[in-house]
Amino acid sequence: DSGVTQTPKHLITATGQRVTLRCSPRSGDLSVYWYQQSLDQGLQFLIHYYNGEERAKGNILERFSAQQFPDLHSELNLSSLELGDSALYFCASSAGGLNTEAFFGQGTRLTVV
Partner 1 sequence: AQSVSQHNHHVILSEAASLELGCNYSYGGTVNLFWYVQYPGQHLQLLLKYFSGDPLVKGIKGFEAEFIKSKFSFNLRKPSVQWSDTAEYFCAVNGVRFGNEKLTFGTGTRLTIIP
Q: Write out the residues near partner 1 by the rule CB under 8 A.
A: 2, 31, 33, 35, 42-43, 45, 48, 55-56, 58, 90, 92, 94, 96-107
- Give the phi and the psi of residue 57 in degrees, each rounded to 5: -125, 140
CB of 42 to partner 1, least distance (A): 5
- Give the phi and the psi of residue 110 in degrees, each rounded to 5: -100, 125
Query: Of 52 and 96, which CB lies nearer to partner 1 in the complex structure?
Result: 96
- Rounded Cα–Cα distance for residues 46 and 72 (Å): 18
CB of 15 to partner 1, least distance (A): 26
Sequence-ordered alpha helix ranges (H) in 22-113: none
CB of 37 to partner 1, least distance (A): 9
